[in-house]
Amino acid sequence: MNMQVESFETPQTPKEGYSGPITRSMTRKGDGNNNGAPPELPSHITTDMLDAYSKTFQENPVNILARNAITQVGPRWIALSQPEIAKVQHIFSHEISPQGHATDQSQSGRCWIFAGLNVLRTAFMEEHDLNDFEFSQTHLFFHDKIEKANYYLDQIIETAHLDINSDEVKWLNYSPASDGGYWSWFANLVSKYGVMPKSVMPETYNTESSRHMNWILSQKLREYAVDLRKMHNAGVSKSQLIEKKREVMAEVYKILAINLGEPPKEFDWEYENKDGDIVVVEGLTATTFYEDLVSTKVEDKVTLVNSPMEGRPFYRAYQSKDVNNMKGGKPMRFIHLPIEELEKYTSRSIEEGEGVWFAADVSPFFNGSLGTLDQGIWDYSAIYGTDFNMNKTDRILYHQSSANHAMMFTGFNESTDGNIDRWQVENSWGRNTGDSGYFIMSPQWFRDYVYEVIIDKKYLPENILNLLDEEPMELPAWDPMMQAVRVKEHSTCLLNSQDMIKA
């Protein structure tokens, strides 16, 4: 290969006050076939590169020590900072009362339902003088599944004219029967179906371990979707497609009834209050139970979101008509605010004695044994010799982070300087994690990984509430902002699981 040396002019730093062209001479090596451009580095991994990487790795004894430790026990335990662990205190200056025992979603993705019902039970327990109480999660789970199935098939009919690879259809087919959801879906369910005591419709094997039931249901729903699209392509009318949908929904109901049991249409509620008195309320339905006996109303709640990114200004309402769990349900609508606003209204709610539903990414910096959500007690940099510096916006846009679990804020601790130095969180992974199922969250973790809080409108100022009256910015379901706030079944919400609890 013929190599040549080329001389050319390039700008150099001008002297102060000089505005004319300044050039300097320099040389650059190139070959005769690429107009003097330097040869490109190989983009593939070569043996020489691997050898150089290995040599650098082996030369540092810290790397060898880290390898020997991490290959045996994994990074989660080794990264824990002992001085920071000693600072963990499950003590709070402000707590809601009464607090029920921590609930247990088991091996399911129902955290958003559990957290929602936990919000309702605080005032309920106080008003009915109860030591403890749980609403039936199975009751709402049943109706969520059948509503999602109906919504999915209805949307399959509505999009039957679109290509199977269109964004709309791919979104529908991604997860037609998942456990995951939004607060707005919880509110839709409670508004339509009410609530009932857990004793009336208790847990089943398939509520506590929903994965196999979900596979069966998803398989059948996708089969129905294939049939409906084929019928459309064959020229079948929309009314006939809807009639076909109604037929197959009977099979969906059968699958759910076999796995979960049927929700009772009417029931009596018998309970013992703190004084030992037996109280019986007869002739209830789930809707009358909610309307007459539950004072905390989902209809009074407002969704506040922090998902900072370009083109999504704060102090504006957003909505997605594509995001729903039922035909005729209210669409997902929220107000986008700076994270400081979410902190302010969360603490205000707790001061008034009301817990706050929230959605967050609990994958990073979670320790189930200590009951902590705090990046300060983890030191991955000491192990790997590199920093982890993505900000919240980049984590969202590059799919590094999104909401995967819903819980409830129940308290906070105010330090001597008047600032909040830790939050109390009620989880739904049972009483064998954290402090009997309750966790500590650091203020920085709140800012980095909390995406959504649900606040009663009575705790919000008029200027914030007025944003809901403005025309919202419409977002597709697959928009990064919408994805950031959905509590997804397939991730950590399912991990009442041994890795997250023990680590």
- Whether the CA torsion 168, 172, 175, 181 is positive or negative: it is positive
468 secondary structure, DSSP code: G
Q: Provide the pLDDT for residue 42.
A: 80
- Give the span between the Cα atoms of 322 and 148, in whole angstroms: 13
Give tens-digit pLDDT for 402-426. Answer: 999 999 999 999 999 999 999 999 9
| pLDDT recorded at residue 487 | 80
How many other β-carbons are positioned within 10 Å of the β-carbon of residue 239? 8
CA 361 distance to own-chain centroid:
6
Tokens of 133: 């109480």
CB of 459 closer than 8 Å to CB of 330: no
* Residue 60: active-site member: no
Angle at 490 between CA 486 and CA 494, to 5 degrees: 100
Residue-level pLDDT at 30 = 46
Q: For the purposes of burial, counting CB atoms within 10 Å of the CB of 300, is it exposed (0-12), middle (13-18) or buried (19 or more)? A: exposed
Residue with tokens 């006050």: 17
Residue 373 has pLDDT above 90, yes or no: yes
Identified catalytic residue from 139, 143, 336, 405: 405
Check: CB of residue 325 under 8 Å from CB of residue 344: no
Task: Compute φ and ψ for 293, nearest 5 degrees.
Answer: -115, -15
- Residue 401 carries which DSSP code? -
Q: How confident is the model at residue 497 (pLDDT cuts 50, 70, 90)?
A: very low
Predicted local distance difference test score (pLDDT) of residue 347? 98
What's the rounded Cα separation, in Å, for the pair 146 and 163?
26
* Choice among 367, 427, 493, 496 that is catalytic: 427
Rg (CA), the chain: 28
151 vs 482, residue with greater confidence: 151
CA distance 61 to 162: 59
pLDDT score, position 37:
73
Angle between helices 111-127 and 137-158 (to 10 degrees): 140
Write out pLDDT tens, residues 83-135.
889 889 999 999 999 999 999 999 999 999 999 999 999 999 999 999 999 99
Helices (DSSP H) in 128-204: which residue ranges? 137-158, 167-174, 183-193
CATH superfamily of 94-127+134-195+202-262+294-502: Cysteine proteinases (3.90.70.10)
pLDDT of amino acid 12: 43
**Could you confirm whether 94 is annotated as catalytic?**
no
* Interacting residues of 421 by C-beta distance below 8 A, sequence separation 6+: 413, 414, 415, 442, 443
One-letter amino acid at 69 equals A
| Helix extents (H) in 43-108 | 47-59, 61-73, 75-78, 82-85
Q: Measured between alpha carbons, how far is 161 from 154 in angstroms, rounded to an integer?
A: 13
Residue 483 banded pLDDT, cuts 50, 70, 90: confident
Q: Can you read off the two tokens belonging to residue 380?
A: 């991955």
434 pLDDT tier (thresholds 50, 70, 90): very high
Instruction: State the pLDDT at residue 38.
Output: 76
> According to the model, what pLDDT value does residue 127 have?
96
Q: 427 an active-site residue?
A: yes
- What pLDDT was estimated at residue 195? 98
Percent helix, percent strand, percent coil in the chain, to nearest 5: 40, 20, 40
Alpha carbons 95 and 40: distance in angstroms, whole number: 62
In degrees, to the nearest 5, what angle opens at C-alpha 311 toward C-alphas 307 and 314?
50
User: Which residue among 111, 143, 150, 496 is the active-site one?
Assistant: 111
Q: Where are the alpha helices (DSSP H) in 367-437?
A: 380-384, 392-397
Ordered by start, the domain boundaries in the chain are: 94-127+134-195+202-262+294-502
Can you give the three-state secondary structure of 41-54, one letter per residue?
CCCCCCHHHHHHHH
The per-residue pLDDT for 157 is: 98
Q: Which region among 16-20, 298-302, 432-436 has the lowest average model confidence (pLDDT)?
A: 16-20
**Rounded to whole angstroms, how far apart are CA atoms 481 and 492?**
19
Question: Which segments of 159-210 does DSSP mark as H helices, in order?
Answer: 167-174, 183-193, 205-208
**In sequence order, what are the residues at sequence separation of 6 or more whose Cβ sits closer than 8 angstroms to the Cβ of residue 21?**
11
As given in the structure block, the two tokens for residue 245 are: 């949908």
Q: Name residue, tokens 């902190």.
A: 343
| pLDDT band, residue 492 (cuts 50/70/90) | very low
Q: For residue 28, list its beta bridge partners.
A: 6
Q: How confident is the model at residue 364 (pLDDT cuts 50, 70, 90)?
A: confident
d(CA 133, CA 425): 18
Q: What angle do CA 372, 374, 378 make, to 5 degrees?
A: 105
